Chains A and B, each alone.
Chain A
Amino acid sequence: MAGLLTGLANATVNASTVLILAGLGELISERAGVLNLGVEGIMLVGALSGFVTAFVTGSYWLGFGVAILAGGLISLLHAFLCISLNSDQAVSGIMLTLLGTGLTTYFGNSWSGKSISGFPERTLPLIGDYLVEIPVIGSALFQSTVTDYAALALVPIVWCFLYRTNVGLELVSVGEDPETADTMGVDVFKMRYLAVVLGGMFAGAAGAHLSLAFNEIWSASMTAGRGWIAVALVIFARWRPERILLGAYLFGLFNALQLYSQGIDLTLGAGVPLAGLVNPVLSFVSNPTIMSTYPYIVTLLVLVVTVLRAENRELAQPSALVQSYSRELD
């Protein structure tokens, strides 16, 4: 049992890092009022550019840096379209996902099948050796790659940035009420550009984590829908960075359960009352394929429950999300 729990904890934490990184990035962008449905594409660009750089130079650190830059650069396109040209954010985001998927599949063709040795798993200095000994969660949390630690550290950093710094508060204000923010002297355009590019850098890092630490290979569409889960995660977290961590672990747990559910017999014995009725339901809900819908279903439930319970039927979402802003013309 302890072995099983340790395995689950490991798989959960492993699956959550990429969601934390991509989710925080999407959160920053949406907090400034710009929905970015291009995360999946940006992550792929990050994964391939990071992998190729690491392969050619032999340095995974350089690869990681290049991936972050590439993520920022390609999201600049989204920023330009949505902020400067007032384009439809959903359409521009879908475009970015198509572009990222297309470009990386096209140019990554000759790189698939190659592998690198990426970020090694390390324990923390000084106390690390003791922390690893904690039962169940010790090795999951404290025997990790630098990118895992970085993702965890970024949660409080992003929280402080958004709620405790001037730039962060300006960024949030731009997503809530751009007109007022503008009147108060906040440069709406600059803030939104900053948020989208920063969000893109996070997504690039998430992609690089996949190809440089999680898998250490490149394969086409290796993000496998994690970018979309990150978009769902932000809604699940109701646009709060600390809940991103919670949600990432929950979604990571769903992912881990898919790996382990086949090894566990969930069915009730023949003697238990109603076993005939309950067992088909149990085997349906514990089917690995059905489990991969859980993040989306949970997100939809959160969405509906929040709206139904909120007094004025308003979500906690940034008020100006998906709205473009232009001075004087409105």
Chain B
Amino acid sequence: MKLDVELTPREQVPRWMGYGTPVFTILAALAVSAVALLALGVSPLAAYRLMFVQTLTTSFGMTETIAKAVPLIFVGLAVYLPLKAQLWNIGAEGQLFLGAIAGSWIGVNVSLPGYALLPLMFLAGGVAGAVWIAVPAWLRAKLGINEIITTLLFVFIAAEIKNYLVRGPMQAPGANFPQTAQLPVAARLPELPVIGFPAGIVLAIAFVAVIHVVLNYTRLGFEITFIGANDEAAEHAGMSKLKIYTVVLLSGGAIAGIAGVSEIAGVQGRLRAQFAPGYGFTAIPIALLGRNGAVQVMLAACFFAVLFVGGSSIQTLLSVPAAIVDIIQALVILFLITAEFFKQYRIDLSLGERPDPGATGSVEGDL
């Protein structure tokens, strides 16, 4: 008996795969993570019920989830937008740090009423994020240096600059903790009336809407997707790769910077040395899960927000290390990129001999 694996490139991805992949991916990741829970003697059902049902059915859980979702939506978009042009902004975490630094500096040092101060903080955060990606963007657009490594290297520089500032120039006077002073009330994002959700969610949804419209209904969006699909053809059609690469990367950096401000002004209240949310890396599975559209990015960000909130509640209530969330994140990426392969190729398994199917393409290799 001989097991034959035949791979055929698909001409069209079946529709159910496009929508089914994210759902299947998440379920598979949760199923495998259940093994890790069982290994610690925790019932996966009880843990997942606590993580998801509890989080989504209590008002505390919902508020926490929305609060976490806001920065995650922003960083998700910060990776998603360049990805549309086939560029990887792996360093959203660094741009987020710079945004948080700029935002909290303005918040602590400028005294203005809230309606003027908050926009100024977001603006400064956006500019700082864009500045932080400017060098990698220039290196990519002008010199063709791969943006993956450069954006990544800037993350570690940003983290140390933050550590330096909260221990030095930006440290709260008269205190020994490595942190800035508390932001004044005017610099804190208010809660929405009636429902009590953090107001940042409105801004996040607005960004989702703008990016959705730009990508789908404007010439710029068309150029971005065209360059992402086939950069050579796009250049023949007279589009400027330099322009599009600069635009998507700088906007990505700016949005990640805004994520930093939203986290400081909406959740943290001050910049601390320990502030290292890792959102910039979570943004990668978010952008991958939501690669079909900005709205999907938002949904994926909400899923990870639930995961983070649920992760900390099972840590408190069941003593399960919150690192389970990292494992689930990794597995989501793992199954997503595996699913990408199955989207591209049809796989036929056959046992024993079979008539030669004729000349079709096939991938050879260890499978």
Contacts and interface: CB of A to CB of B under 8 A. Distances in A.
A163 B164 CA distance: 43
Interface stretch (A53-61, A154-162, A302-310): A302-310
Interface in B275-291: 281, 284, 288
A95 B164 contact: no
A299 B146 CA distance: 14
A328 B361 contact: yes
A290 B164 contact: yes
B88 A329 contact: no
A246 interface: no
Interface in A266-299: 287, 289-290, 292-293, 296-297, 299
Closest CB pairs A-B (n = 8): A102-B326, A99-B330, A105-B323, A102-B327, A95-B333, A98-B330, A106-B323, A87-B337
Contact of B39 (A87, A107, A292, A296): A107
Contact of A91 (B153, B163, B284, B329): B284
Interface in A22-67: 35, 37
19 contacts: A81-B337, A83-B365, A90-B148, A91-B288, A94-B90, A98-B281, A99-B334, A228-B156, A231-B152, A289-B163, A290-B160, A293-B157, A300-B135, A300-B153, A303-B145, A303-B150, A326-B365, A327-B364, A329-B363
B331 interface: yes
B330 A102 contact: yes
Contacts of B56: none
Contacts of A84: 365-367
A95 B334 contact: yes
A83 B366 contact: yes
Interface residues of B, number: 51
Nearest to A102: B326
Contacts of A109: 321, 323
Nearest to A182: B364
Given A98-B326, A328-B361, A85 B337 contact: yes
Interface in A63-119: 77, 80-81, 83-88, 90-92, 94-96, 98-99, 101-103, 105-107, 109
B337 A106 contact: no
Given A189-B364, A303-B139, 5 more contacts: A189-B365, A289-B163, A289-B164, A300-B153, A328-B363
A94 B323 CA distance: 16
A235 interface: yes
A101 B327 CA distance: 8
Nearest to A329: B361
B77 to A, nearest CB: 17
A228 B341 CA distance: 28
Tell which of B149, B329, B362 has the most Cβ of chain A within 10 Å: B149
B157 A297 contact: yes
Contact of A86 (B163, B327, B341): B341
Nearest to A299: B153
Interface in A167-207: 189-190, 193
A106 B364 CA distance: 37
A86 to B, nearest CB: 7
Contacts of A193: 366
A305 to B, nearest CB: 11
A55 B290 CA distance: 44
Given A81-B337, A293-B160, A37 B152 contact: yes
Contacts of A313: 143-144
Contacts of B156: 225, 228, 293, 296
Nearest to B320: A106
B161 interface: yes
A315 interface: yes
B4 interface: no
Given A289-B167, A290-B164, A91 B324 contact: no
Nearest to B288: A91
Nearest to B341: A85
Contacts of A290: 160-161, 164
Contacts of A91: 88, 284, 288, 333, 337
